[in-house]
Amino acid sequence: MKPNEIKVCVLRIEGTNCEEETAAAFAIVGASPEKVHLKQLLHQCPKEMRRDLEDYHVLAVPGGFAAGDYVRAGAILAARMKSALSKELKAFVEKEKPIIGICNGFQVLVELGMLPAFEAAISKEPQAALYTNDSARFECIPTLLKNENNGKCVFTRNLPKGKVVMFPSAHGEGKLMFSSEHERDYLNLLEKNDQVVFRFVGPDGSYAGYPWTPNGAISSIGGICNPAGNVLGLMPHPERVVNRITHPDWTRSGLDPSGEGDGRVVFQSAIDHVIGKG
């Protein structure tokens, strides 16, 4: 399979606003992304616009404020997907096709029960929450993330373990939480299943609190995958740094501004994984 044969569905509804960058990131690594409205997947549109999720190799739920973030961030899109697309989503996950949820997309996957999804592809009820940042503010800053994954996650396989990357964060509700009665067990389970993908770190690479962890997430976690490793959710935005020139320090770093940015590896890894699977 050639990269340009890989079809990526970048899902959008009213309020998503990172679909352009997310599609561009997949295009830069050679794939064929398409911005698809949820109604196209539900066939609530003219015939020629209808799309089927099963025809795509990768699904991306981009950042933004889907459905205005009303009720809770990501909750409305998640509920709509769960009620109308459950079967298709379950099949997508079980075929181990890559799914990425970035920022609001991560909130959607958590509300949907597709992350952390300890027992099934889609859990009946959410097993985690991404709640209001400890600061009670929208935090919009460059954040440093350490790759903590041992190889399970298909989106970070080209990134060496322990490597620190810079992806910008921009969210008001990114504090990963578990219910108090399950907190310790779920954290252990995440570690045991190799589901922790990124942790926020400080400039010296060590785990650090606010502002390096901008939201107060449990154990400084910034991104997790499902037990199979094909579904990734993360609060920071790798699609905003696929080119070095969009790094905030590009004039100071001395690195070639036309070179790769830190985020590109996420999209490249997924495409390489799909090619590898044939």
Partner 1 sequence: MVVAEIRIELKQGVADPEGQNTRKALELLGFKGIKGVRSIKFFEVELDAPAEEAKKQCEEMCRRLLANPVIQKFKITVK
Active site residues: 103, 237, 239
Give 62 or 172: the residue with its C-beta nearer to partner 1. Answer: 172
The separation between CA 204 and the C-alpha centre of its own chain, rounded to angstroms, equals 25
For partner 1, which residue of 86, 135, 193, 219 counts as binding (CB under 8 A)?
A: 135
DSSP3 helix / strand / coil % (the chain, rounded to 5): 30, 25, 45
Distance CA 200, CA 211 (A): 10
Least distance between partner 1 and beta carbon 92 (Å)? 21
Q: Do the Cβ atoms of 53 and 9 come closer than 8 Å?
A: yes
Give 217 or 274: the residue with its C-beta nearer to partner 1. Answer: 217
Q: Which one-letter amino acid corresponds to residue 133?
A: N
- For position 133 contacting partner 1 by CB under 8 A, the verdict is yes
Bridge partner residues of 61 (DSSP): 101
Selected range binding partner 1 among 5-13, 32-40, 56-64, 124-132, rule: CB under 8 A: 124-132
Q: Do the Cβ atoms of 110 and 125 come closer than 8 Å?
A: no
Give 100 or 128: the residue with its C-beta nearer to partner 1. Answer: 128
Distance CA 134, CA 263 (A): 26
> Which two tokens mark 189?
């389970």
Binding mask 175-194 for partner 1 (x = CB under 8 A): --xxxx--------------
For partner 1, which residue of 111, 148, 239, 262 counts as binding (CB under 8 A)?
A: 111
- For position 149 contacting partner 1 by CB under 8 A, the verdict is no
- For position 66 contacting partner 1 by CB under 8 A, the verdict is no
- For position 129 contacting partner 1 by CB under 8 A, the verdict is yes
- For position 127 contacting partner 1 by CB under 8 A, the verdict is yes
The separation between CA 115 and the C-alpha centre of its own chain, rounded to angstroms, equals 10
Binding mask 2-41 for partner 1 (x = CB under 8 A): ----------------------------------------
Residues numbered 209 to 248 that lie near partner 1 (CB under 8 A) are 216
With CB under 8 A as the rule, give the number of residues binding partner 1: 24
Least distance between partner 1 and beta carbon 83 (Å)? 7
For partner 1, which residue of 2, 48, 55, 136 counts as binding (CB under 8 A)?
A: 136
Q: Do the Cβ atoms of 260 and 245 come closer than 8 Å?
A: no
Q: Which one-letter amino acid corresponds to residue 153?
A: C
Q: How many degrees, rounded to 5, is the angle at CA 190 between CA 139 and CA 80? A: 65
Distance CA 114, CA 121 (A): 6
Q: Do the Cβ atoms of 112 and 76 come closer than 8 Å?
A: no
Q: Which residues bind partner 1 (CB under 8 A)?
A: 71-72, 75-76, 79, 82-83, 111, 125-129, 131-136, 177-180, 216
